[in-house]
A and B are shown apart, each in its own frame.
Chain A
Amino acid sequence: MTVGTRARTLYDKLWDSHVVHVAKDGMTLLYIDRHLVHEVTSPQAYEGLKLAGRKPWRVDSIVATADHNTPTRNWDKGIAGIADPVSRLQVETLDHNIKEYGARVYFPFLDKQQGIVHVIGPEQGATLPGMTLVCGDSHTSTHGALGCLAFGIGTSEVEHVLATQCLAMKKTKSLNIVVEGTLGRGITAKDVILAIIGKIGSGGGTGYTIEYTGAAIRALSMEGRMTLCNMSIEAGARAGMVAVDDQTIEYVRGRPLAPKGAMWDRAEAYWRTLVSDTGAKFDRVVTLDARSIQPQVTWGTNPQMVTTIDGKVPDPAQEKDPVQREWITRALRYMDLKPNTPITEIRPDKVFIGACTNSRIEDLRVAAQVVKGRKVAPGIKLAIVVPGSGLVKRQAEKEGLDRIFTAAGFEWREPGCSMCLGMNDDQLSPGERCASTSNRNFEGRQGPGGRTHLVSPAMAAAAAIAGHFVDVRAF
């Protein structure tokens, strides 16, 4: 471990403590502590491993689950509940690979603790402060909420980590996003991260690792910090993180895979050092005032295309740059929106509460509070709640949240990635508009021809009740 006298950022500390080897040109072999595996990006990696006659370096670093292809209904039918044979084969291939090669823990389809990989990692204590954590999924940035270095990788890198427990990479630049002050009532982590992306752009964090700091970030719950870090990649940054504090420690304590007893005390002492030192230098600093952040709604086909609930759809004619103008024009055509339309006049056809961004218990509590005693508007064809994991689902049922949702007209589903990307049956039909708590509003993301508006769980719930986007604070 390199310990210098120089003031270091949290990112410096996490990086330094995992350096195995540095080549002359700066290319570094970085040791990976935790490898999360799911069914979509792993089959070709296991195949590559097998073809090369290699074995996984350390199977007890692997925690696996099936989440992208799994249905959110018909679990009573077992594996046959995955109607699409191509999806079923992918899920079965993961079963087979884990059986053949092994893992620390595996939560297969239908397991009571199965769920979205980025929900179950922290929930199980598989994600710990100070770790390097990777997964073949760009939303791996979520885990940085616990004060670890977590980032998404491609399938070649999945194979590389399986075979060597390392990645060959160069350190990125560091970006400090400071959110000062106190968030207004009804403003959530989702609004904060959408406002950040609106400010720096979807490529603004490219080449950087983000650390979120400031009073408003400190005040976020751990689950709020996960929402925040989740969408770091939507700002272009592979990794986002929040320093360890009392909340982090209390969140991790007692989790199934967290250390216990004397080992816990030792771990906690180390974890408490995982903060950026006073005077540590970042390559870039961006500051936002928490009080200026309003409820956010995206209007276009990229998370950067976002405005506030009291805002309007922009007019491309006002855009001077021709590439940007063309981009906005194309997005409005795809979204079937006219310039200057007030956001509150946009009426969704479907509402989706779920995804690795917003499917944790606090998200469901906030949404349930909005819909309690109310009914989904007649114009809404479908409103679904998809809990992030089996454990979140059962906790919500214990609190009666499922009954609040179903009484209002929502469907209460089984856990998984679901309509965030529609690899299962949960999709938008062409032309349908969705108020969604997910993280991407790209063309066709939720189904071919589908139109996505990204919002917080509270704003999605309010839109379901009102039949159009509405300021949840006035609800």
Chain B
Amino acid sequence: MEKFVPSEGLVAPMDRANVDTDAIIPKQYLKSIKRTGYGPNLFDAWRYLDHGEPGMDHSKRRLNPDFVLNHPRYRGATVLLARENFGCGSSREHAPWALLQYGFQAVIAPSFADIFYSNSLKNGLLLIRLDPKTVDRLFKEADAAAGYRLAVDLDAQTVTTPRGESFGFEIDPFVKHCLLNGLDEIGLTLRHADKIKAFETQHRAEQPWLFQ
């Protein structure tokens, strides 16, 4: 797991419900066998006016001026504000890779899809669930003031507005611990290798057909 770095940053509002992982990173970029290089293709079909394929020089493509991330006031945003069920659809981990490699460190929404949630946290992209009313308010504030920023404190589990108003959020203590310390989850699991072996021996005795 990558470490989450405490973040205070510019907010970009993505005012759409049910943003799916096909929209976050389209299928043609899933052909890559690498973990890197997805940033230029985040929200590819919305962000550019022309069709993109792997291997293109994306800096030369025509940007869609109406797409929120292309607005000059949101350049350099590190916090994405989103609506309900963000990240629904496929299990592609390329979605959090693309968000992180674009420069986002945290996403705030009323709800996230389960697989996307787990994939994101494993890569150090912090997903913050706030109640729909609070998210709505943050959308209004981000819209009203250019340069709107939020401070995210994982240790304190708070999101703080420029006026100093704080909202608490929930996160699993184990996940928080891993995020704060950038722990290797596989390494942690392998500390229980003896237990896994013991379980396997018993499981094999009970259901031998699983080991044929």
Q: Which of B33, B172, B174, B192 has the most CB of A within 10 A?
A: B33
A154 and B27 in contact, given A25-B172, A203-B85, A302-B20 (Cβ under 8 angstroms):
no
The residue that B115 contacts in the complex, of A138, A430, A440, with Cβ under 8 A, is A138
Measured CA separation A30–B180 after assembly (Å)? 24
The residue that B122 contacts in the complex, of A138, A156, A326, with Cβ under 8 A, is A156
Q: Is the CB of B189 within 8 A of A202?
A: no
Q: Is the CB of A442 within 8 A of B196?
A: no
Q: Is the CB of A29 within 8 A of B114?
A: no
Q: Is the CB of A236 within 8 A of B85?
A: yes
Interface size class of A (residues with CB under 8 A): 35 or more
CB-defined contacts of A33 to chain B, threshold 8 Å: 210
Decide yes or no whether A60 CB sits under 8 A from chain B. Answer: yes
Decide yes or no whether A43 CB sits under 8 A from chain B. Answer: yes
Measured CA separation A440–B18 after assembly (Å)? 13
Binds B, one of A165-173, A218-226, A369-377: A165-173
Q: Is the CB of A238 within 8 A of B16?
A: no
Q: Is the CB of B16 within 8 A of A330?
A: yes
Q: Is the CB of A25 within 8 A of B85?
A: no
Query: A143-166 CB contact bits vs B (8 Å, 1 = yes)?
Result: 000000000111111011001111
Binds B, one of A84-92, A113-121, A391-399: A84-92
Measured CA separation A159–B186 after assembly (Å)? 8
Measured CA separation A190–B195 after assembly (Å)? 42
B side interface size, CB within 8 A: 61
Decide yes or no whether A443 CB sits under 8 A from chain B. Answer: yes
**Beyond A160-B189, A164-B193, A440-B22: 14 further Cβ-contacts under 8 Å?**
A27-B174, A31-B196, A86-B31, A90-B31, A90-B33, A138-B90, A153-B91, A153-B118, A206-B85, A206-B114, A259-B209, A264-B209, A326-B17, A442-B89
Q: Give the 6 A-B residue pairs with the shortest CB-CB distance, closest first.
A: A259-B209, A154-B119, A203-B85, A43-B33, A154-B93, A152-B91
The 24 sampled A-B contact pairs (Cβ below 8 Å) are A20-B196, A25-B172, A25-B173, A29-B192, A31-B203, A40-B30, A44-B35, A47-B35, A86-B55, A90-B32, A138-B115, A165-B196, A168-B174, A169-B118, A170-B172, A172-B114, A202-B85, A236-B85, A236-B114, A266-B209, A267-B207, A304-B18, A423-B30, A440-B89
Q: Which residues of B contact A (CB under 8 A)?
A: 1, 15-18, 20, 22-23, 26-28, 30-35, 45, 51, 54-55, 83-85, 88-93, 111-115, 118-119, 122-123, 172-174, 185-186, 188-190, 192-193, 195-196, 199-200, 203, 206-212
Q: Which residues of A contact B (CB under 8 A)?
A: 1, 18, 20-21, 23, 25, 27, 29, 31, 33, 40-41, 43-44, 47, 52, 54, 57-58, 60, 68-69, 84, 86-87, 89-90, 93, 128, 130-131, 136-138, 140, 152-157, 159-160, 163-166, 168-170, 172, 202-203, 206-207, 233, 236-238, 257-259, 263-264, 266-267, 270, 302, 304, 323-324, 326-327, 330, 421-423, 430, 440, 442-445, 448
